[in-house]
A and B are shown apart, each in its own frame.
Chain A
C-alpha cells in the first residue's frame, strides 16, 4: 500500500468546503471546523476546572479548622453542589469531548467530523447550559444546594425551593442533549469517515476508547434526562414521581444507571490517552492491542451492571449481585494496567512531562481502584458510606484520570494544537507540585473517613480530633492551586514564547503526527499507508531501509530512535 497524496494544486477536499472563513471572534462563533470546536470545548472545560477549583479552595479554607470561618452553611452547600456539578458535567465530560473532537478525525485520517454543524451546535448548547446552571449564583435564593446527585426528596421544591434548583435541572437536561448529539456525531465519524486501510482493529486506542465512551453516552444520558425531566415535573408541575405516591429510590436507580457509566465516560478516554502516550515514551510498540480493545469493551459493558453499588445502604437493592459485578470490573481494568506495564517493561523510557503525568496518573488511579474494590464490598461500604473515605476514593479515581491524564494529554498534544512546545522545566515543576499537593490533600481523607467524618459538612467540633488532618488537606489544596498557576503560566506564555514544535516532536505513532502542527483546515495533504494501528511509526521504520539512515539518540537530537528488530518482533508476536 502506498501513501495517498493530494494532486498538486488541488484544493483541500475539493467540493467539501463552501462559504468563506470569517476572521477574529466571528470565526470562533461560527466555526464548524472540528479542531476549533475542540479547542473551544477544551478552553471552556479548563475555565470550569478553574472555577470548580476555586470553590474547593473556599471549602477547604472553611474546613481548615473547627468553627465557622468564612462561609455560612447555606453557601457551603451551594459550593459543594456546584463544585461537583462543575467538575463532572462541565469540566471532565467536555474535556473528553473536546479532545475527541480535535483528535478523532485526525487519528482516523478524516477531514472533519461527520456532522460539522451539529458539532458546533453541541458546543454552544453545552456552554449555554453551563451558564444556566451557574446563573443560580445570581439569584437571591442562590444556586442549587442539594448535592450533584440531586437526590429527592431533598431536591424537591418542598425542601429546596427557589429557582436555583430549577436552573440546575434544566441546565443539566440541556447539557445531556448536547452530550448525546456529540456522541452520535463521533460514532458516525468513526464508522463512516475512516481513511482507506483504517479498519476497526487499526483504530488508535484513544479512538477506540472514545467509541466505547460515545456508546455509553448514547445509552446512559437519556436515562439521566428522563430522571431530570421527572424531577422538573415534580418540582414545578405537581408531579409525584419521587414524592408522595412515588418513590425516591427510583430516582437513585435512574441517576446511578447514568452515574456509574459516567465514571467510565470520564475514565475510558483518559485510559486511551495513557495508552497513546506510554508506547511513545517507552520507545516500544504497545503490548497487546486487541487485549486493550476487548478490555475497553468489557469495562464499558460492566459499567452498566454496577450502578446500585452506590445504593447498598438503602437496603432496597440486591447487594450480592452488585458486589460481584463491581468486583468483576477490576479484571479488564487490570488487563489495561498489565498492558501499560508490559509496554514499559525493558523499554527505553523517556520521562518527558507527558510521561510523568500518565505514570503519576496510573499510580493515583491504582490507589483509587483498590479503595473501589473495598467499597464494592457491602460490609465495608456500610461502615464508610457517605464519609470522607468515599471523597478520597472518588478523587483518586477522578483526579487520576480527568486531571493527571488530562494534563498528560495537554503536554503531549499541545505542540500539535499550537505548533509550540510547552516548557519542560515548568511542566515538571507543575507535575511534582500537583502530585505532592494531590496526595497531601486527599490521602488524609481516607483516615478522616475511617474516623467517621461525614462528607458534605461545612463544620465540625474540635473534640472530634479531625482538625489536624483537615488542616493538612487544606495545605495540600493550596499546593494544588500553585501547581495549576504554574500550568496556566506555562500554557499561556508558550502560545507565543514556546519553541517551535515541528510536525512530530515526540516520535508519535498515530496519524495526527503525519500532518502539520497545527493541522490545515481539512487536516491532511498526504496520508501514509495504513497497515497497522501505528502507521506513522511504520513509515518511520521503513524510511531507513530506503535511505540508509541510522537511529538517532533522543537525548541529543530530540528525535525518537527506531525500535530494534526484537521490539518489532515482540509486537507482531
Chain B
C-alpha cells in the first residue's frame, strides 16, 4: 500500500483507538460521533483511492458526455511519470471562471442573509460560471 494511503489509514486507526477509549471512559455522544466521523472519512478515502487506483479512463469513451465531464473536472488519465516529457493533460493558463464562480457563490450566500433578490441572481450566475468552467477546455480545443 502506498505511503499516502497509509497516512490516511493511520489517522483512522488513531481515531479508532482514541475514540474507543473516549467511548469507554467518557461515553459522551457528541465527541464519540466526531471520532466516528473521522474513522468513516479516513476509511472512505482509503477505500475510494484503492478502488480507483488500478483504473483509468482508458476504458471510457472520452467522447461521451461522462468522459468529457470527467476530463473537464480534472480526473483524466494518470499523469505521465516524467514531468518534462510526454503529453500531460491540457490546463488553461488563465481562466475567468474561478473568479466568476466564487463571486456567484458569495452572492448566493449573501442571498441567504439578505433575501431572494440576491439569492436567485447568485444561483443563476453560479450555473453560468459552472457551465463556463466545465466547458472551457472543450471550447479551446
Contacts and interface: CB of A to CB of B under 8 A. Distances in A.
Closest 10 CB pairs of A and B: A124-B102, A200-B3, A120-B98, A121-B98, A301-B14, A30-B94, A128-B106, A318-B26, A253-B30, A125-B102
A192 interface: yes
A18 B92 contact: yes
Given A16-B88, A18-B137, A121-B102, A32 B94 contact: yes
Contact of A112 (B38, B91, B105): B91
B74 to A, nearest CB: 5
B103 interface: yes
Interface of A: 4-7, 13-22, 27, 29-33, 109-112, 114-121, 123-125, 128-129, 132, 163, 166-167, 170, 173-174, 177, 190-193, 195-196, 199-201, 211, 215, 218-219, 223, 232, 236, 250, 253-254, 257, 297, 300-302, 304-305, 307-308, 317-318, 320-321, 325, 521, 524, 527
Contacts of B87: 14-15
B78 A29 contact: no
Nearest to B141: A18
Nearest to B100: A124
Nearest to A317: B28
Which secondary structure dominates chain A's binding surface?
A: helix
B140 A193 contact: no
Contacts of B91: 16-18, 32, 112, 116-117
Among B26, B83, B112, max chain A CB count under 10 A is at: B83
11 contacts: A19-B94, A30-B98, A121-B97, A121-B102, A132-B106, A170-B112, A223-B37, A300-B11, A301-B14, A304-B34, A325-B18
B110 interface: yes
A128 B103 CA distance: 7
Given A6-B85, A111-B88, A219-B38, 6 more contacts: A117-B92, A125-B105, A193-B79, A195-B83, A305-B14, A317-B31
A18 B93 contact: yes
B43 to A, nearest CB: 12
A307 B102 CA distance: 32
Contacts of B38: 219, 304
A20 B93 CA distance: 6
Contacts of B109: 132, 170, 173-174
Contacts of A196: 81-83
Contacts of A193: 79, 83
Contacts, number: 186
A321 B26 contact: yes
A219 B19 CA distance: 15
A30 B96 contact: yes
Nearest to A306: B18
Contacts of A123: 98
A124 B133 CA distance: 15
Nearest to A174: B109
A320 to B, nearest CB: 8
Contact of A21 (B25, B93, B101): B93
B68 to A, nearest CB: 16
A174 B99 contact: no
Nearest to A235: B113
Given A29-B99, A195-B83, A200 B4 contact: yes
Contact of B7 (A18, A219, A297, A308): A297
Nearest to B91: A116
Nearest to B108: A174
A5 B85 CA distance: 9
B40 to A, nearest CB: 10
Contacts of B113: 163, 166-167, 170, 236
